[in-house]
Structure 1
Amino acid sequence: MSTPYLCPNCKSNRTRFNIIEQHVKSVKLDPQTGDIIEELEQSSLDPFHISYKGPYYKVQCGICGSIEDELSFIKRAQLS
């Protein structure tokens, strides 16, 4: 996170951002109630449960509110 950011949406913000850390929790839900039946460890997922492969960080622009992957903000800053 020691890389400059530039909002890919409003293209003016370089200083005000919200860093969103994503913490994955794999679960099995009851289909009728939506209650959590079981929390699953990433190492013990069954063959029908795909593990999360998304980014660890998301970034929100503190000016326009746009939320994107961190890489989008980094790449936009590199282009300017």
Structure 2
Amino acid sequence: MASPYLCPNCKSNRMRFNIVEQVPRSVRLDPQNGNVVAELSPDQLDPFHQPYTGESYLVQCGVCGVMEREESFIKMAQHVQYQR
């Protein structure tokens, strides 16, 4: 987060953002009622249960609400800066 951001959607917001932390939980559900039967640690996953490999956090524009990877906001700021 040490780089400037620019919203890739509204292209005007450079200041107002929400950082959304993603904390994955690996669970096993009851197929009949959907209740959580077990919460699993990464070392308890079976071969058919893929571990979460997504972003640890996302950035949301505080103006238009679009949510993207941080890289999208940084690249947009860099792109506009180079055009000047």
TM-score by length of 1: 0.95
Amino acid at match of 1:53: T
Deviation at 1:44, TM superposition (A): 2.0
Amino acid at match of 1:61: C
Q: Which runs of 5+ in 2 are unaligned?
A: none
In the alignment, what sits opposite 1:78?
Answer: 78
Deviation at 1:70, TM superposition (A): 1.1
Identity rate, percent: 61
For 1:40 and 1:46, the matched residues in 2 are separated by 10
**Greater than 2 Å deviation, 4+ residue runs:** none
What is the correspondence of 1:33-52 to structure 2 with a 5 Å cutoff?
A: 33-52=33-52
What is the correspondence of 1:1-80 to structure 2 with a 5 Å cutoff?
A: 1-80=1-80
Q: Deviations over 1:38-63 (max 9, x none)?
A: 00101221000000110011111000
- The root-mean-square deviation of aligned C-alpha atoms, in Å, is 0.7
Give the 3-state SS of the residue equivalent to 2:75 in structure 1.
helix
Instruction: Tell me the number of residue pairs that the alignment of Structure 1 and Structure 2 aligns.
Output: 80
For 1:23 and 1:17, the matched residues in 2 are separated by 19
Q: Larger Rg: 1 or 2?
A: 2
TM-score by length of 2: 0.91
Q: Which runs of 5+ in 1 are unaligned?
A: none
Give the 3-state SS of the residue equivalent to 2:10 in structure 1.
coil
